[in-house]
Amino acid sequence: MALRVARRDIRRHKGRSLLIILLIMLPVAGMTGAATLFQSSQKTPEEIVRFELGGTQARFSTLPAPNAHSVQDPLNDAMVVSSTGVYDPDFKPANPRDLLPPGYEVLPLRQLNLTTGVGSALVSLQGRVVDALHPAFAGKFTLLEGRAPQAAGEALVSPGLLERFSLGFGEEFTTSAGTFVPVGTVRDADASDRNSVIFLRQEQVPEAVLNEGPQSPHSMSYYLVGSEPVTWPQILAANRQGVSVLSRSVVLNPPSLAERNVDGVPPPPSSSGAVALYTTFGLVAVLALLEVGLLAGAAFAVGAKRQVRELALLAASGADTPTVRSVVTSAGLWLGSIAVLAGAALGLGSGAAVVYWVRSMGSARFAGVHPDVLLTVVAMVLGLVCCLLAAMAPANQVARQAALGALKSGRAPAGSAKRTTIAGAVLLLLAGALLAAGWLLGESAGDPDRRAGQLPVVTSLLIGGAVLAVAALVLLAGYLVGLLTARTGALPLSLRMAARDSARNRGRTVPAVGAVLAAATLASAALVLAASQQAMMRENHSWTALENQAFLPLSLEQPLLPDGSTQPAVVVDPAELASAVEGATGNVAWTRTISAPGYVHNCAFGNGTDLSGPARTATSNCLQYVLATPAGNECPMTPERRVADPNDWRCRGSMAQSPGAQGSILVGGADEISAVLGAEAGPEALAVLADGGMVVTNPVFVRDGTVVLEGQDVRTQAQDPADPSRMHETVTSSTLPAIVVEPAQALPYYGVISPETARRLDLHPEPAELLVQLTSFPSAGERDAAAGAVAAVYQQPAVGFWAEPGITQGDSWMTWSIVAISAVITFSAAGITTGLSLADARADHVTLAGIGASPRLRKSLAGSQALLTAGLGTLLGGIAGTLPAVLVAGSTELRTAVEVPWLHLLALVFAVPLAGGLLAWLFTRARLPASRRTLGT
């Protein structure tokens, strides 16, 4: 009977029922769609086999391993999952071709780096030497348009190559491998169609191109066609010789975790990045469901008050209290079931549509449609539970009404709020305990490795505390409204009436405040997490120069001649180079020539290199200069190579955690320090430079006012156990006076010495680069124009133009966009709850009109109600969202970059209620519509 009565009430009030369905359906659809898209981005074993192997049995390639004691990932042949990690200078990977088992047809695939001319510059494109249309590659390579090549000058290309160079079938295209005519387009299932790729056969590529320059050992792969599978023991044997294998049978039936580890090597630690990601999304999803549950609760509350007379008649005719309660709860069951089913269908359908659309555009971002059944069921259950809980509170309130009182007045008697307030206080204390426990547990582990293991428990406690805090504040909302009402005597009439009406009708006020509170909690938590994420990006950004700066080399080393002899380097005039860049871009602020010790050039590397000769000769240089880190100033690391304390001064700043490279030492004075480091050198720093000392960018290299400048022979290989980044032996060492001038950003420079000091130390200083400061980041067209101009000066078409983009591009816009989205969410919550409150208060407005209240007063009352509801909700929500988000961010990898965007939060807390009140005032009709006479009056 309850289900039948609830169904008839739903059909009678279609608008309110549709609103509740939409409120529950949308978050369920969002979570289902997000889960579907995430799972669709993960390849299944069958898709790995189809996309990467096609119909072949296995692929043999070179494994990037440091020694013979390394094991690959069975599902990813380019990744080492277990290794001792010790570099073995005598380890030489075998040629994959030499390990191919007999009895298979072999299909080689070779990757080439090709170029084509665009103006004066050469731009790069990818070449694939492979029989792409071989039947065994079905599923990996697909002919999209056109036909197979039939002549020596015909080739297959990717769709992106035709689009990039505005080509059509039959038009000639000249590359460094020759001139070809595209006759068809091919899709690589494991790569994007937008890549610029040309597919060639072995006989189409000249031998000179195949043997040009040093070829990467990873450029060759061999695919085996046959019936016999390649087993995991065969793969382990190949790994010991530096060869990786992707096997069809192993991917479909992977070995156990124990079989993937090198003996004596512990399994790799779990990454906290995935936990942090799921934590963030889990917090947002829970708050979203809580918000819509409260919004639906407001709608149910209004509906239940409209049902008072009908339900009282039902009680008067003999129905007991559980039956009356079940009528309203059954409405939640009906509406929740419809909402979650529709939401799951919408989420799955939307996710599938996005996957099919992205795949049809040639993107490899998604492998296929992979519904996540478990997460979909969880989202449906959570949505249904939220709807039932939203209906339960008004159901209990209506069921407690006395039948005679309801028949007389049609209004629920105001119940005691004492128990609700006590329950809210208890929940608030419990929420505080959970938040404190999560924070204390996270801070108790000083070891980052241990902290990473505790992260799931910590984040679970923090999320639980955040949800309980929102629930507690919702329960305390009625008490807080009463406190505010007692202190509104000095406010204008409309605000006093709104406060007293809210206190008198807490049944509709509390759900409205709770819905806005949940929305503001979600918005403020998203703001804090987004701001912390951006702060982490700023801290971890690898600066190559200051923002909008470009460094152009003044000397280019030439390749060796066929007989192995060296050619003189190409040296360009900095004034000519600067003029070319200025003429091409038009946004050059200034240029400056930067000097440095002689760069490494004409130096032989690798195993078997003769080290008997000097590191520097008249025609070669194998020395690079670095600063030694004094003992005790090394960045402390855990056994799993995590930074023990990211806030430690020894782990921060320029070059603190990165090895030196060419150009890390600059030669100059005050002007160079200002131009390159973005900091001004004071009189003391200039005095140190003049006395033969060094201006250092990081105090980590300084001890007792001195630094040690080392010259390393890059021909050597010697790993330092204390600092694995130091890979070369030190052959020269000089102690210099030092002073620290920290740069504007963590730039890749050790510091600056004067030209006199560089000559005294025999560093062979010379003009090294042209520093170009741009007024703004160049567009793609400006970069292409600059590359063409630079190529003309160098007479080297392959030289490009790159500027440091920095990290501020769009950051402010992104944060304010989150504010805008959050404001829209909060506006929608405030608008829905205000509308429901006004609908419920229609009789009160009729009474006001009957005693002579002006339309302006009624509009002001509506605006004041919205202002009070949204103001209290956003204030409490800002507190409830900011504190847990700060704790959650402080427990993940964001801990060193926790940032609270106070300006944006203040805009949310103050602007949203004011705008909501203004909109309520504008859209509330001055005249009330005529209503039917109420029965009995």
Give the CA dihedral 386, 391, 394, 399, nearest 10 degrees: -130
* Secondary element (H or E) of residue 811: helix 811-840
Instruction: Note the pLDDT of residue 216.
Output: 53
Instruction: Note the pLDDT of residue 752.
Output: 93
Band of residue 317 on the pLDDT scale cut at 50, 70, 90: low
Lowest mean pLDDT segment, chosen from 65-69, 280-284, 792-796: 280-284
Mean pLDDT of the 423-444 span: 86
Contacts for 810 with CB less than 8 Å, ≥ 6 apart: none
pLDDT at 276 over 60: no
Residue of 912, 902, 891, 937 lying closest to 459 (CA atoms): 891
Q: Strand, helix or coil at 737?
A: strand
Q: Strand, helix or coil at 592?
A: strand
Instruction: Note the pLDDT of residue 22.
Output: 74
Instruction: Note the pLDDT of residue 412.
Output: 45
d(CA 477, CA 521): 15
Instruction: Note the pLDDT of residue 404.
Output: 47
Instruction: Note the pLDDT of residue 499.
Output: 77
Instruction: Note the pLDDT of residue 60.
Output: 95
Q: Characterize 444-473 residue by residue with b for buried, 16 or more Cβ atoms within 10 angstroms of its Cβ, and e for exposed.
A: eeeebeebbebbeebbebbbbbbbbbbbbb
Band of residue 886 on the pLDDT scale cut at 50, 70, 90: confident
Residue of 900 and 302 predicted with greater confidence: 900
pLDDT at 636 over 90: no
Q: Characterize 364-394 residue by residue with b for buried, 16 or more Cβ atoms within 10 angstroms of its Cβ, and e for exposed.
A: bebbbbbbbeebbeebbebbbebbbbbbbbb
Lowest mean pLDDT segment, chosen from 564-568, 703-707, 812-816: 812-816
Per the CB < 8 A criterion, the answer to whether 697 and 747 are in contact is yes
Per the CB < 8 A criterion, the answer to whether 128 and 110 are in contact is yes
Instruction: Note the pLDDT of residue 46.
Output: 92
Instruction: Note the pLDDT of residue 721.
Output: 56
Percent of the chain with pLDDT over 90: 21
Band of residue 256 on the pLDDT scale cut at 50, 70, 90: confident
pLDDT at 91 over 90: no
The pTM of this model reads 0.64
Band of residue 485 on the pLDDT scale cut at 50, 70, 90: confident
Is residue 513 classed exposed, middle or buried when 0-12, 13-18 and 19+ CB atoms within 10 A define those classes? buried
pLDDT in tens, 829-873: 666 666 666 666 666 767 777 777 777 777 787 788 778 888 888
Lowest mean pLDDT segment, chosen from 215-229, 671-685, 699-713: 215-229
Instruction: Note the pLDDT of residue 246.
Output: 94
pLDDT at 154 over 60: yes
Which single residue is written with the structure tokens 């769009």? 810
Contacts for 91 with CB less than 8 Å, ≥ 6 apart: 65, 66, 67, 68, 242
d(CA 664, CA 717): 20
For residue 754, the tally of other CB atoms under 10 A from its CB is 22
pLDDT at 308 over 70: no
Lowest mean pLDDT segment, chosen from 63-77, 279-293, 396-410, 428-442: 396-410
pLDDT at 794 over 90: no
Instruction: Note the pLDDT of residue 24.
Output: 75
Band of residue 826 on the pLDDT scale cut at 50, 70, 90: low
pLDDT in tens, 887-927: 877 776 666 678 888 888 888 788 878 877 887 777 776 66
pLDDT in tens, 726-741: 677 888 889 999 999 9
Band of residue 214 on the pLDDT scale cut at 50, 70, 90: very low
Residue of 90, 42, 85 lying closest to 64 (CA atoms): 85
Residue of 277, 286, 825, 280 lying closest to 528 (CA atoms): 280
Give the CA dihedral 755, 760, 762, 763, nearest 10 degrees: -30
Instruction: Note the pLDDT of residue 564.
Output: 56
Determine the residue type at 781: G
Lowest mean pLDDT segment, chosen from 60-69, 131-140, 209-218, 710-719: 209-218
pLDDT at 812 over 60: no
Mean pLDDT of the 338-358 span: 89
- Give the DSSP per-residue string, 312-363: HHHHHTT--HHHHHHHHHHHHHHHHHHHHHHHHHHHHHHHHHHHHHHHHTT-
Band of residue 418 on the pLDDT scale cut at 50, 70, 90: confident
Lowest mean pLDDT segment, chosen from 69-78, 91-100, 251-260, 520-529: 520-529
Q: Strand, helix or coil at 829?
A: helix
d(CA 324, CA 579): 86
Residue of 551 and 393 predicted with greater confidence: 551
Band of residue 176 on the pLDDT scale cut at 50, 70, 90: confident
Instruction: Note the pLDDT of residue 234.
Output: 93
Residue 261 CB-half CA count within 13 A? 10
Instruction: Note the pLDDT of residue 26.
Output: 72
Instruction: Note the pLDDT of residue 484.
Output: 77
Per the CB < 8 A criterion, the answer to whether 96 and 245 are in contact is no
